[in-house]
């Protein structure tokens, strides 16, 4: 049994919360292709990182951006 499944892991755990289609008013960079996204529709992905100790409740929300077409290709390849 891996240590992750027993809840014994010193590294941060990442949990994907979802993606929203948003209009990018400010310039952002696509995490998959590296292209600049500006004044276009794009997907904003939200992840939460839980700290090494669940007792301390160290959580951090992180947002990343995917270009609309690149995100669809990424979903099909998963």
Predicted confidence (pLDDT) per residue in 41-64, tens digit: 999 999 887 766 555 556 678 889
Retrieve residue 14's tokens: 């990442």
Q: Say if 9 falls within a structural domain.
A: no
Question: How many domains in the chain?
Answer: 1
6 within domain boundaries:
no
- Residue 2, in any domain of the structure: no
Only one residue has tokens 């049994």, namely 1
* 4 domain-assigned: no
At 2-44, the pLDDT tens digits run 434 444 444 556 778 889 999 999 999 999 999 999 999 999 9
What domain range is 49 assigned to? 14-77
pTM for the whole thing?
0.70
Residue 64 lies in a domain: yes
Is residue 3 in a domain?
no
Alpha-carbon dihedral 46, 62, 72, 74, rounded to 10 degrees? -120
* pLDDT band (50, 70, 90) for residue 78: confident
């Amino acid at each position: 049994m891996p240590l992750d499944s027993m809840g014994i892991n010193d590294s941060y755990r990442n949990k994907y919360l979802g993606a929203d289609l948003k209009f990018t008013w400010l310039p952002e960079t696509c995490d998959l292709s590296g292209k600049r996204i500006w004044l276009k529709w794009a997907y904003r992905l939200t992840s939460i990182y839980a700290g090494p100790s669940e007792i301390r409740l160290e959580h951090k929300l992180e947002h990343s951006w995917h270009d609309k077409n690149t995100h669809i290709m990424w979903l099909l390849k998963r």
